[in-house]
Structure 1
Amino acid sequence: MENDLYRLMRPALAALLLAVVGCGKDQPARFQPPPGAPTGKETLLQPAKLTSVESDRKDALGRPLRVSCESCHSLRETKPMPSRPEELKEFHQGLQFRHGELACTSCHQAEAPRTLHLATGEPLPMTEVVTLCAQCHGPQYRDFKAGAHGGMTGYWDLSRGDRTRNNCVSCHDPHTPKYAGAHPVMPPRDTSAHGEPGPKESRDHE
């Protein structure tokens, strides 16, 4: 009787042993080595929108041609900064602005439109917009530094290569920062093709 019981349980015991020692088919063939010294470089993406604006013209590939901010702001006399976008009478008309109770001068330098400023009044180059956003969006900035917000390309482990982090304005329009909803590009996967019952088959068995 004891031998019969062992013979019946032998396949289950063998499967359990394989799972315990990590030799099952779903286990990796080998583990990656632990991270070494960080030799890779981390770069912060600098989107073109930080230093240029789209024009109504397109290039040979149909992409909007961009015009450097310097093209106009370096030639024109600096005028007082408006409080609201509705006050813009010549350039940047139609700008949508929905960012709490902020005014244009909450972030932009009144006397230098191409420069931002911190809450302390300290000037900040336009390319350092992440520092500006971090003043009010502390939890997001904390998650950004940890790699849980914003996304990146390259390697988590800098000992294996470089990585590039997205900028705040890579995904958010600073004037209307609320992230617009989107629909998934790919439809839900039909699990019936993988040997699992699909939605219709599941209903047929109910």
Structure 2
Amino acid sequence: MDRESHTNSGPFLLVLAVLLVLQGCSEPIDNSVESVAANSTLEPLFATVIREPPVPHGVRAVAPNGEEVSLQCNACHSVRAHNLKSASAVDLDEFHQGMHYQHGSLTCVSCHQPDDGYSSLRLADGTSIAFFESIQLCGQCHGPQLRDYEHGAHGGMTGYWDLTRGGRERNHCLHCHDAHKPAYADFQPVAPPRDRFAPANHHAESSEAFHATSGLGDSHHE
């Protein structure tokens, strides 16, 4: 009797299993990937401070009475017509002689505001900004560098990455770059590191080769 009941229920269980499988297959499968933003819930407790750049606050000159004074830019630039096409230090026949200038095809008035006697800087749309805000001016052309700077990958920094633990101090563009000649000059890297597994005279040969290619071997000390 028991064997017969098991035999009769077998087909029923098989049909039930097939129906359950088909029901599961009919439901759509969600293959989407949930995106979770990496957003910190901790508010910064300390500020990021940009060091004051080495900007000119005036030009030192000697007054008729022999006293040393500091003159604003417009004290001299307002007494002569502006050369709006000047793009070379060779054109400097009176002011700033000896200055080295190499900044692409930019003219003086590409960055300096002639409307106020060069006492401020000017953005591409003509807006005047103070000298210490020159990061805005640099970022107009050097966008990738400004982006990296804002994310901490360009320019020097001291302090904390985590502003919940301490403050942060950043360099200004002008701490590393000359505004009139911003590109770094080519330089010879240092000698290669010493290979401790190389023969004893290998380091001496590498140093001699380095000095020969860099021109340092021809230098004379007086």
TM-score normalized by structure 2? 0.58
- Please name the residue that 1:14 is paired with: none
**Rg larger for:** 2
Question: Does the 8 A contact of 2:74 with 2:119 survive in 1?
Answer: no
Give the CA deviation at 1:123: 0.7
Question: Does the 8 A contact of 1:42 with 1:162 survive in 2?
Answer: yes
- Tell me the SS of whatever aligns to 1:135: helix
- Tell me the SS of whatever aligns to 1:49: coil
Question: Does the 8 A contact of 1:80 with 1:111 survive in 2?
Answer: no
Trace 1:172-183 onto structure 2 (pairs within 5 A): 172-182=177-187
- Please name the residue that 2:153 is paired with: 148
Give the CA deviation at 1:141: 0.6
Question: Does the 8 A contact of 1:118 with 1:132 survive in 2?
Answer: yes
User: C-alpha offsets along residues 69-91 of structure 1, whole Å, 9 cap, x if unaligned?
Assistant: x5243644613333133222222
Give the CA deviation at 1:170: 0.8
Question: Does the 8 A contact of 1:35 with 1:159 survive in 2?
Answer: no
Q: Does 1:51 align with 2:51?
A: no
- Please name the residue that 2:102 is paired with: 98
- Tell me the SS of whatever aligns to 1:153: strand
- Tell me the SS of whatever aligns to 2:129: strand
The answer to which structure, 1 or 2, has the higher relative contact order (CA under 8 A, 6+ apart) is 1
Give the CA deviation at 1:94: 1.1
Cα 1:159–1:86, aligned 2, differ >3 Å: closer, same or farther? same
- Please name the residue that 1:115 is paired with: 120
Residues in 2 aligned to 1:198 and 1:93: alpha-carbon distance in whole angstroms: 55
Cα 1:52–1:75, aligned 2, differ >3 Å: closer, same or farther? closer
Give the CA deviation at 1:162: 1.2
Question: Does the 8 A contact of 1:43 with 1:164 survive in 2?
Answer: yes
Letter in 2 for 1:158: L
Q: Does 1:37 align with 2:43?
A: yes
Cα 1:105–1:158, aligned 2, differ >3 Å: closer, same or farther? same
Question: Does the 8 A contact of 1:152 with 1:164 survive in 2?
Answer: yes
User: C-alpha offsets along residues 142-163 of structure 1, whole Å, 9 cap, x if unaligned?
Assistant: 0000100112111111111111
Trace 1:6-17 onto structure 2 (pairs within 5 A): none
Structure 2: tracts of 5 or more residues without a match: 1-39, 62-67, 203-222
Matched-pair identity in %: 40
Letter in 2 for 1:171: C
Query: Which is worse superposed, 128-137 or 153-162?
Result: 153-162
Residues in 2 aligned to 1:126 and 1:139: alpha-carbon distance in whole angstroms: 22
TM-score normalized by structure 1? 0.62
Q: Does 1:81 align with 2:87?
A: no
- Tell me the SS of whatever aligns to 2:199: helix
Cα 1:74–1:80, aligned 2, differ >3 Å: closer, same or farther? closer
RMSD value over aligned CA atoms? 3.2
Question: Does the 8 A contact of 2:135 with 2:173 survive in 1?
Answer: yes
Structure 1: tracts of 5 or more residues without a match: 1-33, 56-66, 192-196
Letter in 1 for 2:114: A
Letter in 1 for 2:147: R
Match of 2:143 among 133, 138, 143: 138
